[in-house]
Amino acid sequence: MIGKDMSVMKLFGQAVVYGVFAVVVGYLATRPSWTFFDGSKAQVLVSFSHGGKAAGGCRKRSSKELAKLAPNMRKATICSRERVSLVFEMSIDGKLVHRETLVPTGFRSDGPSRTYQKFTVVAGRHDLELKLRDTDRAEGFDYIRQATVDLKPGQNLSVDFKASQGGFKFE
């Protein structure tokens, strides 16, 4: 008799514990209220991955160097695998809001450079200017895109970069 009473008490205890747990999880799922993003504003998201031009250039091997190599390795010209760092700038309404030097990824600095930036702006009309330098030049930029965008409240404007498609793209 005592064994049956104990098993009933265990089941009742488990039901109480699970019930309290469910109530706590339910409460935490709805409280405290938190908004991820202010719906009256807009966002400009800049995200791209791009490989800069090769750094260091190429050189020709001498005949002595070529003779030391195995026949299948005798390439007359060798080039550096390393890529240049990218320089990225973004201006909103004529004000520079971001400038970044993006170093190449990879063990030998031969991979693409990457960035992900998020800018919160007041909804409405804005003049955007995006610039990117992907060569070893000291001044100026290789890609420049200027655009006027009309952002609605809660809108996310995505900015990507595709060199094969002419540069910066808005989506």
Establish if 68 belongs to a structural domain: no
> Which CATH number goes with the domain that contains 94?
2.60.40
Tell me which of 38-47, 57-66, 155-164 is least confident. 57-66
pTM for the complete prediction?
A: 0.72
Q: Are residues 129 and 45 in the same domain?
A: yes
Please give the span between the terminal C-alpha atoms of the chain, in angstroms, as a whole number: 72
- pLDDT class of 121 with cuts at 50, 70, 90: very high
* Whole-number Å distance between alpha carbons of 5 and 168: 73
By residue range, what is the domain housing residue 30? Answer: 1-34
Task: Identify whether the C-beta of residue 77 lies closer than 8 Å to the C-beta of residue 59.
Answer: yes
Establish if 67 belongs to a structural domain: no
- pLDDT class of 19 with cuts at 50, 70, 90: very high
| Residue-level pLDDT at 3 | 60
Q: Are residues 29 and 101 in the same domain?
A: no
CA distances from 33 to 36, 140, 155, 158 (A): 10, 47, 22, 27
* Whole-number Å distance between alpha carbons of 43 and 9: 56
| Residue-level pLDDT at 136 | 87
